[in-house]
Amino acid sequence: MSPGRNWTLLDNIGCLVTNDPELDRGPLGVLVDAAVVVGEGLIRWVGPRDRVPEGAAADRHDLQGRAVLPGFVDSHTHLVFAGERAEEFAARMAGAPYTAGGIATTIAATRAATDRALGATVSRLVAEGWQSGTTTVECKSGYGQSVADELRCLRVAEVFTPETTLLAAHAVPPEFADRPDDYVRLVCEEMVPVCAPHAKWIDVFCERGAFDADQCRAVLQAGMAHGLTPRVHGNQLGPGPGVRLAVEVGAASVDHVTYTTAADVAALAGSGTVATLLPGADFCTRNRYPDARALLDADVTVALATDCNPGTSYTTSMPFCIALAVREMHMSPEEAVHAATAGGAAALRRDDVGVVREGARADLIALDAPSYLHLAYRPGVQLVREVWQEGLRM
């Protein structure tokens, strides 16, 4: 180790979640009484605090026994939108069902908004996410649903994150109401080629009332032909072909996964597709919750994400999702924390985040608590006290 002048020793960490399988103590690779050296954006050293190499860092920062974790990886959000739908939420809480029909409201508001207004919303929500510990965020388009508006949404998103997703087939826009196949053709032939340079991923909403498996397959294949990697919204509102389509095309992730059959779980097991659970959406739509136990017990890789959007899940809080996962989906606190960090990284096919290991990005959070358990144990409490993004305290 040849420490740089700006390296910092994060010392006196009471409980360090590393997610490094080479370290002992369960799936989280927990070290007690630990220290981490960060420098030039990366993690430079991790270990017990009584073995910090001599002269490892110029600065020392005392964590006073707090828990430190990798920053959360929120692998599923829709932050580029205008307006809000609080009335729709209130109606749902009074008994109305969620139908996805409200997406049209947000499309109209988003099309009418300036780029500047859209950017201000993304900026506000990314900052809100930071405050609750999110250091990597994926961001979808999907409220433009025209070539020009989807392009605009992606250009706004890419200012904030490299994890941009073209959600071209989210809802059939009003001007295509009676001819959804013409919309799918527009997506494949015009929207994907124009938008692909600004996206890393291609996503679809594969659900009754949105797009069917053939339409979604066509869009995903068009995206793949332009270098995008597929991901799928599937099995949110009922059983359907989304999970199996995701596995068939080798999607990085299938998201929601609220209604699964044994065949869906079997298809995911042994596939390279992560099951991303979005309990905030199930909470805010009074839906049932996914059968996380069936997925975990079948060794499916599980991620947790917020799905932040104005319709089904207007939250940026990964700790809230962890608490829901533990309380409502019977995930252990260890499984939930892993899913919110390493699971999200797997869903984004990233090995440089969601882990505290030499060479990884120095994205870390410190809790106002002695253990990661408090994330589920103290729901609704602002426990994230420090956020370090690429080695800099935010």
Give the binding site for Fe ion (CB under 5 A): 307
- Binding region for ligand NIG (CB under 6 A) out of 97-105, 196-204, 323-331, 355-363: 97-105
Contact partner, 73, from ligand NIG, Fe ion, none, Cβ < 5-8 Å per class: none
Strands 67-70 and 8-17: parallel
Contact string 41-80 vs ligand NIG (x = CB under 6 A): ----------------------------------------
Annotation-wise, does 226 bind a ligand? no
- DSSP-derived 3-state class of residue 205: strand
Cα–Cα distances in angstroms (integers) from residue 198 to residues 90, 262, 338, 346, in the given order = 36, 37, 30, 21
The answer to whether the beta carbons of residues 217 and 241 sit under 8 Å apart is: no
Contact range with ligand NIG by CB under 6 A, out of 219-227, 264-272, 305-313, 383-391: 305-313
Does residue 215 interact with ligand NIG by CB under 6 A? no
Shortest distance, position 332 Cβ to Fe ion, whole Å = 25
Among 273, 301, 309, 315, interactor with ligand NIG by CB under 6 A: 309
Pick between residue 31 and residue 195 the one whose CB is nearest to ligand NIG.
Answer: 195
Residue 32: enclosing H or E segment and its boundaries?
A: strand 30-39
DSSP type of residue 309: B
Sign of CA dihedral 276, 321, 205, 157: negative
Contact status: 312 vs ligand NIG (CB under 6 A): yes
Q: Does the protein bind ligand NIG through residue 311 (CB under 6 A)?
A: yes
How far, in Å, are 6, 14, 48, 243 from residue 51 at the CA level?
A: 20, 15, 6, 47
Q: Which does 216 bind (CB under 5 to 8 A by kind): Fe ion, ligand NIG, none?
A: none
By CB under 6 A, name the one of 29, 102, 280, 333 that touches ligand NIG: 102
Q: Give the residue with the Cβ less far from Fe ion, 286 or 393.
A: 286
Mind spelling out the 3-state secondary structure of 248-268? HHCCCEEEECCCCCHHHHHHH
Does position 205 bind ligand NIG by CB under 6 A? yes
Neighbours of 180 (CB within 10 A): 17
233 lies in the binding site for ligand NIG (CB under 6 A):
yes
When binding is defined by CB under 6 A, the residue of 77, 106, 110, 136 that contacts ligand NIG is 106
Least distance between ligand NIG and beta carbon 83 (Å): 10
- Rg, Å, the chain Cα set: 21
CB of 389 to ligand NIG, least distance (A): 26
CB of 103 to ligand NIG, least distance (A): 4
CB atoms within 10 A of CB 390: 14
Nearest distance, CB of residue 204 and Fe ion, angstroms: 11
Question: Are the CB atoms for 255 and 216 separated by under 8 Å?
Answer: no
- DSSP-based three-state secondary structure for 84: coil
CB of 347 to ligand NIG, least distance (A): 14
Q: Minimum distance between the CB of residue 255 and Fe ion, rounded to whole angstroms?
A: 6
- Residue 260 interacts with ligand NIG (CB under 6 A)? no
Which helix (H) or strand (E) segment is 30 a member of? strand 30-39
Whole-number Å distance between alpha carbons of 322 and 179:
41
* CA dihedral for 170, 174, 175, 181, sign (positive or negative): positive
Binding site members for 4-imidazolone-5-propanoate: 85, 143, 170, 236, 312
Binding site members for N-formimidoyl-L-glutamate: 143, 309, 311
The residues that touch ligand NIG, with contacts defined as CB under 6 A, are 100, 102-103, 106, 205, 233, 236, 281, 307, 309, 311-312
